[in-house]
Amino acid sequence: MRIIRHSQILAAANKIKPDVILFSATLNGKDLAGSVGAGLSTSALQDCVAVTLSGGKITVRKPVYAGKAIITAQPLKNPAIISLRPKVFPALVPDQAKTAPVERLDVALDGTEQKIKVKEAIKSATKKIELTEADIIVSGGRGMKGPENYRILEELASLLNAAVGASRAAVDAGWRPHEDQVGQTGKTVCPTLYVACGISGAIQHLAGMSSSKCIVAINKDPDAPIFKVANYGVVGDLFEIVPVLANAIKKSQN
Ligand SMILES: Cc1cc2nc3c(=O)[nH]c(=O)nc-3n(C[C@H](O)[C@H](O)[C@H](O)COP(=O)(O)OP(=O)(O)OC[C@H]3O[C@@H](n4cnc5c(N)ncnc54)[C@H](O)[C@@H]3O)c2cc1C
């Protein structure tokens, strides 16, 4: 395992003068993008959900005001420093006919890389699917009424090979661990399918999941704000709907 450092990227950037440097908008990626931007006396466009190149100009789209609006922006200086939300692009099928030149850069280091030495990488013992990598997420909020009721979401999640997420209300109540929290102060996710159960759709929750490709909301309140971002909405009691949904999926898999 190698740790990519600020100083290595700066050295490489100063050597090859790229037009754009892309980072993943993870906690570490955003941290690195910001410090590399400062090191190159330019700004970083963080947490973008799209990037296009047209007529030699780079344009990005990024959520602002906790996801309430999306802005289109262009970098004013080169290199453009851009961090992109994980999973915003579908992975392409590798084309073996194509090749790309790979250049090995011998960049001068500043000595700080000696301060940390990775001795061993141990895989997590749990089989839990990481929220930010999951293709499908089944998430529960205060409407779940208690930690014991997440069992029905876990059952649904296991049928769909999905991860289980939660709103902050559920995490603050101690029903789920903080690592499961989706939203402004939790994780930003971009799955193919996000199933929100008993989640009202507060702006801080939407900030973490509104770029999901398909959102299904189950809520007994027809005026819940989650329905404004949902592609499919079911108005009703989740304790009736989730088991019916799980049974239907089970049947379709047999
Ligand atoms: C600075 C700051 C940061 C924050 N960060 C986050 C964050 O990262 N993530 C986050 O999620 N929140 C965050 N919040 C909190 C956020 O504002 C909301 O309070 C929270 O998201 C509400 O969670 P909820 O939707 O589970 O609960 P509620 O808003 O209470 O909604 C519960 C929903 O469940 C529905 N319901 C109840 N019973 C049933 C049933 N039987 N069947 C179907 N539906 C039912 C209700 O109709 C309701 O819509 C933050 C707040 C602040 C101020």
Encode pLDDT of 225-237 as tens digits.
999 999 999 999 9
- Whole-prediction pTM value? 0.80
Ligand 1, atom nearest to 198 Cα: 34
Q: Is the pLDDT of residue 50 over 90?
A: yes
Work out the average pLDDT over 34-48.
94
pLDDT at 28: 87
User: pLDDT class for 1, splitting at 50, 70, 90?
Assistant: very low
Q: Is the pLDDT of residue 167 over 80?
A: yes
Work out the average pLDDT over 2-11.
75
Ligand 1, atom 8, residue with closest C-alpha: 183
198 C-beta closer than 6 A to ligand 1:
yes
The model's pLDDT over 151-160, given as tens digits with 9 standing for 90+, comes to 999 999 999 9
pLDDT at 27: 83
- Please give the residue that has the higher pLDDT: either 140 or 112: 140
237 C-beta closer than 6 A to ligand 1:
yes
pLDDT at 3: 54
pLDDT at 23: 95
**CA 164 to ligand 1 centroid distance, Å:** 16
**CA 209 to ligand 1 centroid distance, Å:** 13
Ligand 1, atom 41, residue with closest C-alpha: 237
The model's pLDDT over 86-134, given as tens digits with 9 standing for 90+, comes to 888 878 899 999 998 888 888 766 666 566 677 888 877 777 888 998 9
- Please give the residue that has the higher pLDDT: either 246 or 108: 246
Q: Is the pLDDT of residue 83 over 70?
A: yes
Interatomic CA distance for residues 235 and 225, integer angstroms: 12
pLDDT at 38: 94
128, HSE (Cβ side, Cα atoms, 13 Å): 12
Instruction: Name which of 130, 144, 131 is nearest 220 in CA terms.
Output: 144
37 C-beta closer than 6 A to ligand 1:
no
184 C-beta closer than 6 A to ligand 1:
yes
Q: Specify the range with the lowest mean pLDDT, choosing from 36-45, 123-132, 185-194, 225-234.
A: 123-132
Best of 179, 219, 239, 245 to mutate for ligand 1, by most ligand atoms within 8 A of CB? 219
Q: What is the DSSP string of 218-235?
A: EES-TT-THHHH-SEEEE
Interatomic CA distance for residues 132 and 57, integer angstroms: 30
Ligand 1, atom nearest to 140 Cα: 26
**CA 132 to ligand 1 centroid distance, Å:** 20
Ligand 1, atom nearest to 226 Cα: 49
Interatomic CA distance for residues 254 and 98, integer angstroms: 40
